[in-house]
Each structure stands twice: as C-alpha cells, then as structure tokens.
Amino acid sequence: MPKKYFDMFPLESIRMPPGLKEGDLDDVPPAGQKLGRNRYLDHIKAQGQWKQGIQGYLACVAYADAMVGRVLDVLERSPYRDNTIVVLWGDNGFHLGEKEHWQKYTGWRQTARIPLIIRVPKGAPGLGDGTPAGARCSRPVNLLDLYRTLTDLCGLPEKPGTYGHSLVPLLRNPQAPWPYPSITHLDQPDSYAISTEDWRYIHYAGGGEELYDIHSDRYEWANLAARAECAGALAKMRGLAPENRAPLASATLPNPALTWVPAADGPCPPSRASTNVVTVAFTNYSGRKVVLYRIDAAGNKVWLVTDEQDKALGHFVAGAESARAEIESTQ
C-alpha cells in the first residue's frame, strides 16, 4: 500500500490489541497451544517490530477500504446504481499477538470472523423492499451461505446439492430466527470450530476441546469446556458437530525428484523466467525446521531452503514438470 496509508497511523498512536492476556493459552489443550504459538510473534518481538506490524496491518485495511470506496463511487455515478446488489466480504481475520499468535489459521473468533456487508436495492426479485439502511445482524452466518443468498435475491432456481442457507430472511429482518451455527474447518477432518450467537466451541483431532461464552468473554480468555456448570452448553455444541466428514486424502508425491544442492556446494543460482506452472511437493528429512523461499524476481524456477535464522541450507532448481523436492540432512 502507498506510504500515505502508513502516515494515517503514526507509530506513537498505535495501541496494542485489547485481546492480549498474559498466559492466555494456559487453559487451552495441547493441540490449541501448538496451533497458537508460532515463530512469527517471537521473531517480531525480538526485532522490536510489534507496533510496526500493527501499523502495517492498519495501513493495509485502510488502503483496502479506500479502494472499495473508489468502486462504490463509480457505481453510485453509473446507470447501474439502482439495480446492483453489492456484497462485500473479507478474508479470514488475523491475530496480532492475541493467543500468542501472529497470523491466521486458528479456530478462535479473532481469525474466523470476517466483515460481511450486503446492500440490496429495491425491486430485487427476492427482496422487493431492498435492505434497510444501516441495519446490523448478530446471527452467525457463513460464506457458504452467499451462493444461495444471491440466487434467491436474483430469483434464480435453487441448485441441488448446494451447501449453505439463504440469508434473505435476515436481510428482510435482522432479528429473524436463525437456527443454524457457523462452522470453521481447520487442517484436519476432526478439527473444527462452531459458532452460535452465544457460544464458541473448538474441537481438535485427538479430542481437545475449548468452549467460550462469547457474550461475557469476547476475547475468549476463559476456556469453560472442563467446568461442570457448563456441561449442558458443551453437550449442545458437541451436538452441532459437522457430519459425514470426508477422510483426509493422502498426498501422492510427483516424480521425478529434484536434485538437492547443499549450500556448501555453491550459492543459490539466479532464477530464470518461465511461463510453466508446475507443482513441487516438498518433504523435509533434515530433522529441523526449515523455511522455503521462492526466488522469483525473474521467474519461479529456484527454491532456496534456509534454517529459522535465514542461514542457507541448500536449494532446488525446478524444471518444466511437476516434481518432488526432498530436503536432506545438513550440518
């Protein structure tokens, strides 16, 4: 984003996220602790860049908002102003240190919640009165609901086998009954989070659980899953678990194997421009955590492998076809 969006948020004005709490992961099961604690936050703290990271995040959001404004300004001046449905949604949220995490990919509300704004003009086949200006709805919905919502609004026939629920009843009346939870899937078939209007439940493959009263605990500081007085709420949330979950598919590694070139054998070569799109499946046999860098200033042929301190371990040069890359043990 341009510099002026950074200037909107001077470093001296940056405040730390209100959801921070010392020892926040102490009552979280091991799977949640593993998911929460990643190397990024420790690295940012060690380099003294926490507020700068928040500043960059806010600048990104402000820039995106401004670009949305440009699109809406053009629509407002166009002949399509009164017959266009506008739906604005965002990518999943982002931890800025909450839950000892920096990034997304967790089951907590900080990363699962997104912006969702829908404006329907009067005269739409599925909502003749349009949406009331400024109305807000607190019901838990899901992006899977958007397809059915838009076909419903446009008066198109329903497509069999489509997931989700039409949001038209809520667009008509934001306080309308809504019996559906919203489910966020994680990285394994039995790892997921469920939101109702009152509760947030997280289930990890292996059995770990979290339960939060999101009315009294908006930052999910107190895991209530083990408390006897919450057994009824826990049982209810367990009963909303997704059914007929497909098994996790095992990856089939492509052939051939790329040649692993240790850093001791020479520096990483420059990349070459290429229009080929190939799949490279990496397997780490080094016995340590590694970082992958795609060297793509002039193409996408070369992959550099480093340790967590960015010390080069070796590299691969991709060819014109899909391949597997096996990272070997290094000293």
> CATH code at 86?
3.40.720.10
What percent of the chain shows pLDDT beyond 70?
Answer: 96
> How confident is residue 250, by pLDDT bands cut at 50, 70 and 90?
low
Pair (172, 274) in one structural domain = no
Return the SS3 of 182: strand
User: Quick check: 43 and 99 in contact, CB under 8 A?
Assistant: no
Alpha-carbon distance 79 to 115, whole Å?
A: 27
| Three-class DSSP labels, 211-230 | EEECCCCCCCCCCCCCCHHH
Amino acid 286 reads: S
Alpha-carbon distance 99 to 179, whole Å?
A: 29
Instruction: Give the residues across from 117 on adjacent strands.
Output: 88
Cis peptide before 132 (omega within 30 of 0): no
**Which of 93-97, 178-182, 207-211, 262-266 bottoms out in mean pLDDT, i.e. has the lowest?**
262-266
Torsion-angle region of 99 (φ positive above 0: left; ψ -120 to 50: alpha; else: beta) = left
Kindly state whether residue 221 falls inside one of the protein's structural domains. no
Kindly state whether residue 188 falls inside one of the protein's structural domains. no
Query: pLDDT by residue (tens digit) across 106-144?
Result: 999 999 999 999 999 999 999 999 999 999 999 999 999
> How confident is residue 9, by pLDDT bands cut at 50, 70 and 90?
very high
Pair (26, 153) in one structural domain = yes
Domain boundary among 120, 143, 177: 177
Alpha-carbon distance 327 to 291, whole Å?
A: 11
Domain boundary among 153, 177, 201: 177
| Domain around 31 | 3-177
Kindly state whether residue 200 falls inside one of the protein's structural domains. no
249, pLDDT greater than 90:
no
For residue 251, the model assigns a pLDDT of 65
DSSP 8-state class, residue 263? G
Stated pTM of the model: 0.75
298, pLDDT greater than 60:
no
**Which of 123-132, 232-241, 290-299 bottoms out in mean pLDDT, i.e. has the lowest?**
290-299
Q: Pairing relation of β-strands 302-306 and 261-262? A: unpaired
Pair (171, 266) in one structural domain = no
Kindly state whether residue 218 falls inside one of the protein's structural domains. no
Tally of domains in the chain: 2
Alpha-carbon distance 251 to 19, whole Å?
A: 38
DSSP 8-state class, residue 118? E
DSSP 8-state class, residue 183? E
Kindly state whether residue 250 falls inside one of the protein's structural domains. no
Pair (34, 148) in one structural domain = yes
Pair (137, 9) in one structural domain = yes
219: nearest Cα among 14, 29, 21? 21
Residue that has been written with the tokens 């002949």 in this structure: 79
For residue 30, the model assigns a pLDDT of 95
Mean pLDDT, rounded, for 161-166? 92
Alpha-carbon distance 32 to 98, whole Å?
A: 13
Pair (143, 291) in one structural domain = no
Pair (142, 283) in one structural domain = no
> How confident is residue 277, by pLDDT bands cut at 50, 70 and 90?
confident
Mean pLDDT, rounded, for 175-185? 95
Pair (286, 145) in one structural domain = no
Domain boundary among 177, 209, 228: 177
What percent of the chain shows pLDDT beyond 90?
Answer: 68
